[in-house]
Amino acid sequence: MTQCDKSTAAKPQKLNRKAAENYGSENYGKLPLNKSQERTGVQRTRIIDINASRAGETVSIRARVHTSRVTGKIGFFVFRHQDSTIQGVLQVDEKVVSKGFVKFAANVPDESIVIIEGVVSKPNEEIKSTTVSDAELQIKKFYVVHETLGRLPFSLEDASRCEEEINKEDSQFSRVTLETRLNHRVVDLRTTANHGIFRIQSGVCQLFREFLLSKSFIEIHTPKIVGASSEGGANVFAIKYFKGSAYLAQSPQLYKQMCICSDFERVFEIAPVFRAEDSNTHRHMTEFVGLDLEMAFEEHYHEVLDILDELFVFIFDGLKTRFASEIETVKRQYPSTNFEYLPKTLRLDFKEAVQLLRDHERFLGKLIKEKYNTDFYIIDKFPLAVRPFYTMQDPYDKNYSNSYDFFMRGQEILSGAQRIHDPTLLEEHAKELGVDLRSIQPYVDSFKRGAPPHAGGGIGLERVVMLYLNLDDIRRCSLFPRDPKRLEP
């Protein structure tokens, strides 16, 4: 055979070998851009719903490629959907999975969105690195829906790593700082811990609303562009308003009370609150979500305090029973002790709390935890001088007031009080504190038409979540936080 004949004979063999390596090409590849071309009716399975009881079943999932590790003819993938992860195994066989299939899958960038079809199987050992520990997928089809472009700002594996692992002396892991996370928040929010945090945050709002509606409260929606400071202070954001000026609301306080004057009797709101405080701390933001309520009472403002007490116990009970898996998901990355509370919340007068501090010279929150075994408590009867102008004076001591704060792990999460509902007394107290009555005249006038005694409070949503989960920074509990140095993304 001539040299030319040998060359010609080699070509078909090479082509046949290449074809043999790429059989089943219809089982993998990039899908065309989805423009809603058709509806196939294919049912996808959620990762969270896959377990060992479904072994042998063929399922189809849509997920992100969390990590991939391919060696030769076998590849191991972790697929992620929201706060659930599962291992997928891709192995060359003689019918479906070719070498070309494995090579294609190996080159799909992390965080790409894919559709995977596979057979559920039981692993030989428990898989500890994924939330689905008793099952894995034997991959049969692998399609890319949308591929990640460019380099990721950080790996999701690094961003999901437990703080204790990173803090070890011999640790080789990279730390993803909070500032880096916030600069690339869309990627950061994909971590399973963050999905847990914001499901819990959603749960707090759900439980808050559920409880108050059961107690005959009405949900209201008050203006966030106002003509005067609602708290009588200087910590307001001024904005241009046509030819004049206005402010972003510090709270719905005045409008809640005006609704009480309109005989709504029990109202609540979940809405943004703006505070122009140049405080660069772990617990302050310039915009946060306020859970506010106001309620008319019959004889004593402690009727409202009782409702608030019930409300928080209802929320804490609900989080513990309805969101147990989300709490555990967060704890895997941010380990903490369980939040402890009493069926009937501990209440201390301000004078009692001060005396405790004098006797022990320690942080009040830690002292109360040790003495009463609770992370949640109420302090009542604050000095009048430290409360807003609309706060009712204590009837027995003019230096104190019918006001209260609620605390979680030693930090304040609710501030409230009985409000002054007598217009003359309201005007007198406002003048004493230097409040310009002309700026709040409609509010003052609302009490001249008759108003029932009432009280209420304002809760910081992000603080509740931060302290319940014992996180180190409130910005972890805000989707896109705003502080004195951050207006993006």
412 noted as active-site residue: yes
Q: Is the dihedral of CA 149, 153, 157, 160 positive or negative?
A: negative
For 169-228, the DSSP string reads: TT--PPP--HHHHHHTHHHHTTSHHHHHHHHHHHHHHHHHHHHHHHTT-EE----SEESS
Strand order in the sheet with 238-241: 225-226, 244-248, 238-241
463, 475, 476, 478: the catalytic one is 463
d(CA 374, CA 329): 23
The residue from 146, 209, 284, 322 that is catalytic is 284
Q: How far apart are CA 447 and CA 180, in angstroms?
A: 50
Q: Which of 150, 21, 152 is nearest to 93 (CA)?
A: 21
Of residues 199, 275, 421, 454, which has the active-site annotation? 275
Read off the tokens for 465. Answer: 């979540």
DSSP track, 76-110: EEEEEETTEEEEEEEE--SSS--HHHHHHHHTSPT
Annotated catalytic residue 277:
yes
Q: What is the DSSP letter of 391?
A: B
Can you read off the two tokens belonging to residue 253? 């306080």
| 299 tagged catalytic | no
User: Is 390 within 8 Å of 403 (Cβ atoms)?
Assistant: no
Say whether 463 is catalytic: yes
* The one-letter amino acid at 446: S
Q: Residue 16, exposed/middle/buried by CB under 10 A (0-12, 13-18, 19+)? A: exposed
CA distance 164 to 170: 12
Q: Which residue out of 412, 439, 482, 486 is catalytically annotated? A: 412
C-beta of residue 378 within 8 angstroms of C-beta of residue 349:
no
283 has catalytic annotation: yes
Q: Which of 185, 415, 439, 486 is catalytic?
A: 415
Query: What is the β-pairing status of strands 84-91 and 136-146?
Result: parallel
DSSP assignment of 344-382: S-EEEEHHHHHHHHHHH-S-HHHHHHHHH--SEEEEE--
Determine contact, residues 414/450, Cβ cutoff 8 Å: no
Active site residue 179: no
Q: Which residues are catalytic?
A: 275, 277, 283-284, 412, 415, 463
